[in-house]
A and B are shown apart, each in its own frame.
Chain A
């Protein structure tokens, strides 16, 4: 298990490095005059040259890359070209917002997908058909459209929950919850739909297994057979799908943050993309991919815990 974890951590670090390098090259190969963009059309030529020098843009690409990579490994992701704010601090400020809505969405999706998938598998008939149809619709509709509908109805028209803004969890837990409910729900829909179908399929497979019949022959209650034994066996494949869905959740969060006016990583990346602020954009890429790697690692551990064959060997 330790060797397995070590391998996964090394592979994850390699993944982050590859993606960061590719992003760095992409952002720095385009040849636009960054200093001119920052200072505007009216700036003098010498001011532009000075700015270029200040940002280190007059140095060869390879050198700039090594410089960035060396600092990044030490935890310093540079500073914004436009505001001069250290990228690391911006990420520390925005990450909790995004993690709040994404992890809440993931949790919601896990709970709802087990409930819906189990109901569809056990009840069959029209319940099954409704869940399947809802799943097709749920996976198709983009999360920000759901977010817009929820913002207009629940927040603006009904006024039940705040339409915009984020409250930190250490300021007020209830206000924090109120500020993340609608974004988390918007994000959870697609992940719930996809995972529910996986739970349904896996559970139907397990319920046909020989050992389920044998467990029933021992006179165990349906509750124990389904919820203790069958669901436990159906969990690993569902978890794999949930891990894939997490990446989709982060994608969705970028747009959903804008709908609900949340100052998260997505908003940071969005404004950096509009301005062409390469260091900030690069920082958000590194952090989001790291988060994906970390969550996948946690889900791997959960997978091992659920599946004794992986755990013991």
Chain B
């Protein structure tokens, strides 16, 4: 496809219909239509002039002459309500038009050309946004004109920054998309680029923004009129509220009609904007977030389990609910780890190896559905555990080393605190004990200046250091099992070997069992006792490490060995160079 042809327009045509299908949106439109119709038809619906006051009718109750009664100075409430609607609708419309007429073009120019224009416009916007709107309106009405419509034009200017920011951000987003650059290179003029690529993207958010500006403008206009500003001849809901407020003890019912009219108009307008936003969403209304429990399908009694067995996984399945049915990512995985044994879990990305590891820790996302015939750690059933028991088991029983060191430390807390907190929780150490133990751990994992790192924030240390810190954290509470998810993948090659050595020595020191998730047979050769090879959510082969290299049983294992071993030298002793396997097909998911 050529870049110039890409046009994100089709959504625009369907948006109105999709919005209307939402009953709430249809209701909002009906309310707005009613308000507009009643305001336009005001002369037909009432014979009164809204600012004509008859002293004898002061605070008259509802009657045939005054269907909604009369106000504090004897003006007909119904006529003021209807004509007041005109003031509100006109005011809101003026503000929207001015805000978009000012903010729209400036936003497009700022976003499209950036540079000095953008800098100056941004500065002016900040000044305008720093001043409370009503204060500006008070100054303007005192200095320029008491006319509410003039005030609404000024309000449009004050609210233009909101439009400016929105349009500018949208334009920048489009601008940075490659296809616009491509369109420019292929000779489209700026005007056509804007019309064909920028405009369609900006329309929908502008509709939402317009409903918000409209609602806010009606509210501010009413506020000003309520304060007593505006010309007396201009009937408005705000002025009605002001009059009703002075009679709050005599006739509180006067507050009802203008309050309801204004509230409904504002709510209908902003809910309509919300409905448009929902209709724009990828699948219409948001689905309700469900929490699925981890389910044991059938828990067999642990009779035939060997005494040195640490981890038992039998028939593990993990799936996620998707709009078009379930998406299964682990399909019946079984594996075991003995005390002090290192199991390599090998497979390409997407094979389900990380999902298997997280299932053991109970750390899958909320919407994951987990079932297993058996999932047991050191004699305890992991699936039936309550949260408190699970938390005791995590960290204390099973340690976890993540893949990406820089994103796995909390950026807001010092490293020392992040090490000390679990030790105080699990081992019941005092602050000082935990601190000295943490410093010892940092030294043990090879950090040259433990005191400094202890005091540092994560962004102040390197990736290799961060991974050492995470390893220190994983072993801090003497776990019996360590689950490491690609612990060296994100590190520099030189650091990889050191970190791997560290993990192996820690594993031997503490006689920990270990599940090492990796796609790298070099790592496997280095450290693993046994290997389980995963593909497409299943384990295709489990065998002792030497056997995997010497005589891989499954064709997929051979393929995998071929593709990883050819890349670089392997430390340790790979006893076999496998030949070429079958081509990798159907390897996704």
Chain A residues within 8 Å of B, Cβ to Cβ = 15, 18-19, 23, 26-27, 29-30, 124-126, 128-129, 136-137, 139-142, 144-145, 148-149, 151-152, 156, 209-211, 213-222, 224, 229, 232-233, 244, 247-248, 250-252, 254-255, 258-259, 266, 269-270, 272-274, 276-278, 281, 284-285, 288-289, 292-293, 296, 306-309, 312
Contact = CB atoms under 8 A, between A and B. Distances in A.
Interface of B: 126-127, 129-135, 138-144, 212, 215-216, 219-220, 222-223, 226-229, 241, 245, 248-249, 252, 255, 259, 262-263, 266-267, 269-271, 274, 288-291, 358, 361, 363, 387, 391-396, 398-400, 402, 404, 407-413, 418, 421-422, 425-426, 457, 459-460, 470, 473-474, 477
B139 A219 contact: no
A156 B141 contact: no
Contacts of A259: 245
A308 B267 CA distance: 41
Closest 5 CB pairs of A and B: A124-B289, A219-B395, A142-B219, A217-B400, A140-B270
B453 to A, nearest CB: 14
Contacts of A18: 127
Contacts of A213: 358, 363, 402, 408
Given A124-B291, A141-B219, A156-B249, A254 B409 contact: no
A142 B266 contact: yes
A152 B252 contact: yes
Contacts of B249: 156
A142 B267 contact: no
Contacts of A232: 412-413
Among A219, A221, A252, A270: residue with most chain B CB under 10 A: A219
B394 A217 contact: yes
Given A18-B127, A26-B143, A215 B410 contact: yes
B470 A152 contact: no
A220 B227 CA distance: 55
Contact of B135 (A216, A229, A258, A269): A269
A157 to B, nearest CB: 8
Contacts of A274: 142, 228-229
A251 B137 CA distance: 10
B421 A288 contact: no
Given A140-B270, A213-B363, A218-B422, A308 B412 contact: yes
Contacts of B133: 248, 251
B117 to A, nearest CB: 19
Contacts of A128: 288-289
Given A141-B263, A222-B387, A306-B412, A289 B139 contact: no
Contacts of A254: 132, 134-135, 138, 223, 227
26 contacts: A124-B291, A129-B288, A140-B212, A152-B252, A156-B248, A213-B402, A214-B400, A218-B473, A219-B392, A219-B393, A219-B422, A220-B391, A220-B421, A221-B391, A222-B387, A224-B425, A229-B410, A233-B410, A233-B412, A244-B129, A258-B226, A272-B142, A285-B131, A289-B130, A309-B459, A312-B457
B274 A136 contact: yes
Contacts of B248: 151-152, 156
Considering residues B134, B215, B474, which has the most beta carbons from chain A within 10 angstroms of its beta carbon?
Answer: B134
A139 B215 CA distance: 10
Given A26-B140, A214-B402, A219-B393, A148 B255 contact: yes
B408 to A, nearest CB: 4
Contacts of A272: 138, 142
B404 A273 contact: no
A209 B142 contact: no
Contacts of B392: 219
B281 to A, nearest CB: 13
A25 to B, nearest CB: 9
A218 B395 contact: yes
Contacts of B222: 142, 144-145
A165 B66 CA distance: 35
Contact of A152 (B132, B255, B363, B477): B255
